[in-house]
Structure 1
């Protein structure tokens, strides 16, 4: 059964929005790939046909020539470019490995990859915020470029990201396409069907594709789980439903929020029988929570395996609650909660212990699942603008409906913005106003649970204790400081960052002219020149979210007793005892929270801008259209350097702010001849003007300090009395 709702804001049929055009292109390209694949299969079948082999034995001159022609058509880089798909598995792997070594690519697979990339581009056209996220962009680039080690590192970086809820939620609809791309790029031709299924709109294979180690990627979530009965607050008790209904259960989930709790209730049905309802919220927003399985890593594991700390914790909660064996059970969840409860419904042992009568999943990606008990009634409720569930029949060009007998509500809500369209309160409002018939249908199915609530118990789900992220370097005491963007914990911790510091010798007089009028701020000199540093950062994971940072600074002397060459002597001191530092002239960041923190806590002249950075390899590529700035080039061989701790100076009111920065990573020193800085003619002030006044707007740095991956923390700025 299927229910469709329509609401204002849906594109008109035949509309030519960018996403729809890309999806049409993806379908057309996939048709071409399927045709080429069929030709390849027929050619491979002809090559291995017994009559052709017999002909080659009888007439070697013509028969062998025919076999050779077919083989060249299959494997030549100017032909089909791939191994014979009908060959035995061992032979196919040999052909595939040989083709990989020779640089020959399967033509049909490459065209199918193009179709999948168009499908990904269609989703990004509807939700461009994912393409702007540096961690998400890095993951998609490495997967589609067939760079497995870098893809794994990018995925782990997203798991560690303290502000990657939006990006990791975007993995739900993209993961099918990304894994299909990876499978189609595999050398083993017998791995191909798993990748072709989502691209061509067929039912996915049950076999896990070779070369994709899902348990290995989810190894960060191997905790046993735990559950502890907890009391609801008096305020929460006022909003807990006292009568069973779909909206009542969903409002209970909203009351629980996403702090790692679930709710178990007894309901006395109209027939007097006591039944049980398990209600599970979705993923914890923001940073990964080491103390709870209800986080982004748990969502990832629930997507690919039925066993996870979330499901194990729910089982412990049900055992503690004392539900009798054979009791009837309804499972209702939102987002990751619906996914975890559907995993329980797939467990044969669980369904032998309890009679799972209903599963209702709101905004959950459950299309690839199937309950162990065929009598279980399943309802999936999804807003078409919500990218988290993305049913299979909504992928580009797919016509496959995996569960025609489920009750499915796939409606178009009035709000397109993510994550607002995924929030439970939006779904509750839509069930009241946009698709009320769906609410009535689900309530009718839940009639055995439409009665008074006779017992309610909340459970706190937990992971087994393990070291926190960044241990031991980033485990340090913190203090909350109020800002206009809300409270911020300092030191600010950066769990996964890349950086490149471009160092330019500049005129000492030009440098002095850019410093504030205070006489105690003087540029440090190395000979007759001062030193300007253009720092480029790609912060993929931090306690104030992911962002890109571009900072121009000058090395300055001790504020009270400047000495010649003191900057060189300072390198021998501990960072907290150093007198010299870098005064920040301009700072551009890509998030509002980072801008507020820089201005109000560190006293730096930060501005919000757009920028893209790739600093994870030997290649430097940083671009900002707003600033009119481009830094690109390739680093040559480098020399290992000590840890790059430093002091930053800024100004707040009439004082100087001194900020201590500690870093832990593999810093290397390179010559700067391969890197070039460029400014557009209409580049934005003040950064562009300062670069021009220093004479480095089209210069190459003297040397570059690079660190592709490091940890970092910045203290609260100390206000100095001058």
Structure 2
């Protein structure tokens, strides 16, 4: 009865997960059929038989080949037999777009698992960053996927999105792998889908034992003195919690710690302590950022790893000394990379590695005697970055200690903070603390010397360099102080450009005689409907829908001003776009637009997506939608803009500088629809009757950086 009631009611998360498990079992069965059929196709006995009886033998082989490659059969990529010909045929099938039936069924299972997570939290699926990442992974766009995930980490307002992403990241990576063309990545994806042990990098199929080409950016370390308060917080006695508190003290500013500890047996040993990466932009040109955290996972040579090695050498640790490595997050991964380095382990005896909030399963130290402990919170996304869910089987290997637990706070990044791990080691999992301290007995003694090193990555430019490395000034607003210019680190935009009647466009502008629409020839002016998706900005992520009219020089309007202005720098331009209506996605963005740029902004929810030649925007509250293909496009020069707003009896002039790869589309199939729209933006669109025509041309910029200066009052 209970089963019938559950089946007749609405789907639950657990029911979807059960379905996903059943579907992946079916996919594994189909894959076994593919393997058996492939082995029969390339069996030597069948080959010999075909030579002796070509009429029936080749017919049988042809039937098997069709079963493996036909769209109505097992799919073009279903040939899994080893050997040159089998691999060639399988690759050819993938190139023709014939996905393996087994892979497609496995993808269905993975999407059921993602749906199970989104069922309980549908708001996560609407987040722009989450949508961008999901689309990139599903479309086999590795670079775009890394950028999307990095943008989420750098965005302090994406915490809830990252909380939702943690349990589905492995599934998303597996979808990408199953739909890709790399056979190694395919094997990794199958391991993710079926819950087996990983042997390769989940995005590009890079084996974990085969690092990439080394990154030779210049690194440096500098011994620095801790502040008085920090010095008081650094422990004078060795223990697990003492070492972790040291990391918490020095980790904020991108520093590492080397301590000399006199053990109970009187031997002097050394403890290296390294912090992890917190969401946000790194300071002091530190290599502790998400891009290097990702690199640390799959290569033993990274800027952070080399910086720690420089600190050890600068400290003067004698060759042959005993070393314990204690780290959190990216710092733990960098220390594990050192422990995997054979040359390093010949110089020093790495006795212990303690990794908190980092994956340890696929990192074997060069010295088999090294004791490795991994402590992970199942809510923490960082240990999932190698594609393995926390809580997997430890494998029962010697000199390994693994503690997976479920912390009380599921929200990221709080669940990844070292402070939270320390609290959990004290209250939630005290037995783990006792176990690790028992293993660290040789390091449980007085600290005789401590040095703090600031690590630098001299080849690591500031984020957004060079466009966004500009001086800023804090400007007070009703939403709090805002740094001007406002910087946009990761955005997409589409500008729908409509030729409209000049007199109608003039009716939307302020009632002053010297502000007139720029004419395109005859009685036509240009109205621009701009759609923005700002994923990472200094005022948080938000969407923006704006309507503007191109206007002439406010003092001396002359024919063809627009054509001449395109040859001038943006700060010397005389024409610009007057913003007549604007809808933004957050209250902070509304306050900034009104108070810094004097634009008539109102708050309203909207979704904007500019990807793959398709444009989509939805604003249900405004009764407004935009959809359609942009058509063929060609690269065009970057167009910086001058925007005008109105405050009292003055005009506010704002400069917008952009860096991206814009394209102009002269034959767009995009249509604007107004369904009972209300509000200033919808009203102005109705006046211009833009829903009745297609835009004359469309400018798109799938990904760009920009900054908008604070508006300047001009006496007009």
Shorter-normalised TM range: 0.7 to 0.9
Are residues 269 and 291 of structure 1, via their aligned partners in 2, closer, same or farther at CA, if it must alter by over 3 Å? same
Cα distance, 1:377 vs structure 2 = 2.7
1:614 aligned partner: 609
Q: 1:699-718 alignment to 2 at 5 Å?
A: 699-718=693-712
1:307 aligned partner: 301
Alignment partners' CA distance in 1, 2:209 and 2:443: 37
2:4 aligned partner: none
Between 1:46-55 and 1:319-328, the stretch displaced more is 46-55
Alignment partners' CA distance in 2, 1:325 and 1:485: 57
Are residues 228 and 592 of structure 1, via their aligned partners in 2, closer, same or farther at CA, if it must alter by over 3 Å? farther
Cα distance, 1:22 vs structure 2 = 4.3
1:578 aligned partner: 573
Matched, 1:232 2:226: yes
Query: Alignment partner of 1:659: what SS?
Result: strand
Q: 1:478-493 alignment to 2 at 5 Å?
A: 478-483=472-477, 488-493=482-487
Matched, 1:452 2:446: yes
Query: Alignment partner of 1:430: what SS?
Result: helix
Q: 1:62-211 alignment to 2 at 5 Å?
A: 62-82=56-76, 85=79, 87-122=81-116, 131-132=125-126, 134=128, 137-146=131-140, 150-156=141-147, 163-164=154-155, 176-187=170-181, 192-205=186-199
Query: Alignment partner of 1:401: what SS?
Result: coil
Are residues 209 and 597 of structure 1, via their aligned partners in 2, closer, same or farther at CA, if it must alter by over 3 Å? closer
Between 1:165-174 and 1:472-481, the stretch displaced more is 165-174
- 1:306–1:344: 8 Å Cα contact kept in structure 2? yes
Unaligned residue ranges in structure 2 (runs of 5+): 1-8
Are residues 216 and 63 of structure 1, via their aligned partners in 2, closer, same or farther at CA, if it must alter by over 3 Å? closer
Are residues 216 and 518 of structure 1, via their aligned partners in 2, closer, same or farther at CA, if it must alter by over 3 Å? farther
Q: 1:140-539 alignment to 2 at 5 Å?
A: 140-146=134-140, 150-156=141-147, 163-164=154-155, 176-187=170-181, 192-205=186-199, 222-287=216-281, 291-390=285-384, 395=389, 400-403=393-396, 406-465=400-459, 468=462, 472-483=466-477, 488-506=482-500, 511=505, 514-515=508-509, 523-524=517-518, 527-528=522-523, 530-539=525-534
Unaligned residue ranges in structure 1 (runs of 5+): 1-14
Q: Please give the per-residue CA displacement for 1:373-393, whole angstroms capped at 9, x wherever unaligned.
A: 333332222222222223999
Are residues 382 and 126 of structure 1, via their aligned partners in 2, closer, same or farther at CA, if it must alter by over 3 Å? farther
Cα distance, 1:423 vs structure 2 = 1.5
Which fold has the larger relative contact order, with Cα–Cα distance below 8 Å and residues 6 or more apart in sequence?
Answer: 1
Are residues 95 and 645 of structure 1, via their aligned partners in 2, closer, same or farther at CA, if it must alter by over 3 Å? same
- Total equivalences in the alignment: 703
Q: Please give the per-residue CA displacement for 1:264-290, whole angstroms capped at 9, x wherever unaligned.
A: 112223333332222111114313668
Are residues 635 and 608 of structure 1, via their aligned partners in 2, closer, same or farther at CA, if it must alter by over 3 Å? same
Are residues 536 and 413 of structure 1, via their aligned partners in 2, closer, same or farther at CA, if it must alter by over 3 Å? same
Alignment partners' CA distance in 1, 2:239 and 2:152: 37
So what's the TM-score if we normalise by structure 1? 0.85
Alignment partners' CA distance in 1, 2:505 and 2:146: 42
Alignment partners' CA distance in 1, 2:530 and 2:162: 31
Cα distance, 1:718 vs structure 2 = 1.0
Query: Alignment partner of 2:85: what SS?
Result: helix
Alignment partners' CA distance in 1, 2:707 and 2:386: 42
- 1:639–1:670: 8 Å Cα contact kept in structure 2? yes
Are residues 237 and 705 of structure 1, via their aligned partners in 2, closer, same or farther at CA, if it must alter by over 3 Å? same
Q: Please give the per-residue CA displacement for 1:89-127, whole angstroms capped at 9, x wherever unaligned.
A: 211222123313443221112222333344455566677
- 1:367–1:391: 8 Å Cα contact kept in structure 2? no
Q: Please give the per-residue CA displacement for 1:514-558, whole angstroms capped at 9, x wherever unaligned.
A: 555667655555554554321112345545455432222233455
Are residues 610 and 359 of structure 1, via their aligned partners in 2, closer, same or farther at CA, if it must alter by over 3 Å? farther
Cα distance, 1:303 vs structure 2 = 0.9
Matched, 1:670 2:665: yes
Between 1:437-446 and 1:262-271, the stretch displaced more is 437-446
2:5 aligned partner: none
- 1:162–1:545: 8 Å Cα contact kept in structure 2? no
Q: Please give the per-residue CA displacement for 1:364-408, whole angstroms capped at 9, x wherever unaligned.
A: 122222223333332222222222223999749x96434566333
Cα distance, 1:20 vs structure 2 = 4.4
RMSD: 3.8
Cα distance, 1:237 vs structure 2 = 1.5
Cα distance, 1:467 vs structure 2 = 5.2
2:681 aligned partner: 687
1:554 aligned partner: 549
Alignment partners' CA distance in 2, 1:232 and 1:186: 49
Alignment partners' CA distance in 2, 1:16 and 1:458: 57
1:3 aligned partner: none
